[in-house]
Structure 1
Amino acid sequence: MKDATALPRSLLVLGGTSEIALATARRLIARRTRTVWLAGRPSPALDRAAEQLRSLGAQVRTVPFDALDPGSHETVLEKVFAEGALDMVLLAFGVLGDQAHDERDPARAVRVAQTNYTGAVSAGLVAARCLQAQGHGSLVVLSAAAGERARRADFIYGSSKAGLDAFAQGLGDALYGTGVHVMVVRPGFVRTNSTAGRPPGPLATTPGAVATAVELGLRRGSETVWVPGALRPVMTALRHLPRALYRRLPL
């Protein structure tokens, strides 16, 4: 059985245009990764991402994937796994939504939940089954510190990430001892194009910093990774703060 915590030679990215995912792929290519699958909705952005990774020396292929079409997930992922064993699946798709608008439009709020949670449940279960069938590999799930405790400013997004986080932790427990390693990554505010114009938090980070943390977590065989690490005690304190006090915070 292969070591599930070694850096991967082959990588499947679910959410192939994610800035965090691409930063992670670049870092892993610089270390050991030689084959990359980028799964996402067909677009010029997906094609550009593939070309960028090819320029780093990796063999890169794209595959159509839609988080909002769970009926297709089994077919798409099994097709990729049929091409050869995969050492790592990075579940990196998600949307922030717009809290002010989404509160007034339940359909928009549901779309956030379906993308971040139900879409991830579907893809995560299929990926886990494929990894377990081959007997090794890592499933890395991009969660968020926002899922640790819902905030007034983004409770729709936060609740979807809370569901994803609990799902991934439970999946990791279910797969313990099978040779499949599940790692949950909880970044705080990440400076990306999708967060441009939003006020960053005091512990804001970058896609590159998240990529570094993912690599370190894989080397250590970590099950949970906070980015930056200082978020762990901060969010632990906030999680246990009495609700009456929590409501007074400018969050």
Structure 2
Amino acid sequence: MPAHKDAFSAPRSLLILGGTSGIALATARRLVARGARTVWLAGRPSPELDRAAGHLRGLGADACTVAFDALDPESHENALGKVFAEGDIDLVLLAFGVLGDQATDERDPVAAARVAQTNYTGAVSAGLVCARALQEQGHGSLVLLSSVAGERARRTDFIYGSSKAGLDTFAQGLGDALYGTGVHVMVVRPASLGGPGAAARDRGPLTTTPEQVATAIELGLRRRSEVVWVPGALRLVMSALRHLPRALFRRLPL
């Protein structure tokens, strides 16, 4: 059991769903620097995914890619099962997702449904497959990237926000279901990422970077945290917004 305990705080093997995500790659780089040696990057086959694996190999990791499509849940069992068949996985990071475009998606229900299917139903399928595999091996952490947008629906991003709210609730319930099994489930709620695109989506004063989220994930793993806010001050900010009367909330430029 000591080795399993160490695997929580210093994972040696990683499976990242959403292998080209900026947050995922920042986390992988940080954990490789701390001793992780096996990294699986799961995503749709692309030159970008191959470059990400090559970059991690350059840092000393044994990095491989695996074809994975969040919108094809029927393939998840087989695709992810191949990874676990190669050996134990200490950390699964579920980092895939799409922002969509609220203004466009409101006029295109099919596009809106695709956001929901990627961020929620795809994550439910992949999350359950990985959770069962971690439970069967008797240890490991499952980290799911939620979002501050899921805390309370805002008129500017309620399609994306509602999909993340569903994922957040699923992840918390899954953590409770797996409590005592040796599997640690952690929900990460980052603020909007800094940059021009993010600024257009979230005008709030609190933003973050992939590197800051990666640092918070590593700290959360060491502490066996169940919920991690990035930055930490968001916990208080969102608590206030969540309990704000609806009449007042509607008047905010959110």
- The TM-score by the shorter chain falls in which range? over 0.9
Deviation at 1:111, TM superposition (A): 0.2
Q: Is the 8 A contact 1:19 1:192 kept in 2?
A: no
* Aligned pairs (5 A) from 1:87-236: 87-191=90-194, 195=198, 198=201, 200-236=203-239
Q: TM-score, normalised by structure 2?
A: 0.96
Q: Which AA in structure 1 matches 2:38?
A: T
Instruction: Tell me: CA distance 1:66–1:223, structure 2 relative to 1, closer, same or farther (3 Å).
Output: same
Is 2:69 the partner of 1:66?
Answer: yes
The 1:198–1:162 alpha-carbon spacing in structure 2 relative to 1, beyond 3 Å, is closer
Query: Partner amino acid for 1:82?
Result: A
How far does residue 125 in structure 1 lie from its aligned partner after superposition?
A: 0.2
CA shift at 1:191, angstroms? 2.6
Structure 1 contact 192–207 (Cα < 8 Å) conserved: no
Cα shift at 1:6: 2.1
Percent identity of equivalent pairs: 77
How far did residue 7 of structure 1 move? 1.7
Cα distance in 1, alignment partners of residues 164 and 232 from structure 2: 19
Shift in alpha-carbon separation, 1:200–1:30, aligned structure 2, 3 A:
farther
Q: Which runs of 5 or more residues in structure 2 are unaligned?
A: none
Distance 1:60 1:148 in 2: 35
Is 1:17–1:49's contact at 8 Å kept on the other side of the alignment? yes
Alpha-carbon spacing, 1:19–1:223, altered in 2? closer, same or farther (3 Å): same
- Deviation string 1:132-179 (CA, Å, 9 cap, x unpaired) is 000000000000010000101000000000000000000000000000
Task: Indicate how the Cα distance of structure 1 residues 236 and 216 shifts in structure 2: closer, same or farther if over 3 A, else same.
Answer: same
The reply to whether residue 246 of structure 1 matches residue 245 of structure 2 is no
Letter of the 1:138 partner, please give it. Answer: S
Deviation at 1:194, TM superposition (A): 6.3
Query: Shift of residue 119 of structure 1?
Result: 0.1
Q: Which amino acid aligns with 1:15?
A: G
2:78 match: 75
CA contact (8 A) 1:19 1:207 kept: yes
Give the SS at the match of 1:152: coil
> Could you list the per-position Cα deviations for residues 157-206 of structure 1 after superposition, in whole angstroms to 9, with x for gaps in the alignment?
00000000000000000000000000000001013686476565311110
Distance 1:77 1:114 in 2: 19
* Aligned residue in 2 for 1:18: 21
Alignment CA distance shift 1:207-1:200 (3 Å):
farther
Gaps of 5+ in 1: none
Q: Distance in 2 between matches of 1:19 and 1:193?
A: 15
The 1-side partners of 2:42 and 2:180 are apart by 28
Once residues 238 and 68 of structure 2 are traced to their aligned partners in structure 1, the CA distance between those partners, rounded to angstroms, is 33
Whether 1:43 and 2:46 are equivalent positions in the alignment is yes
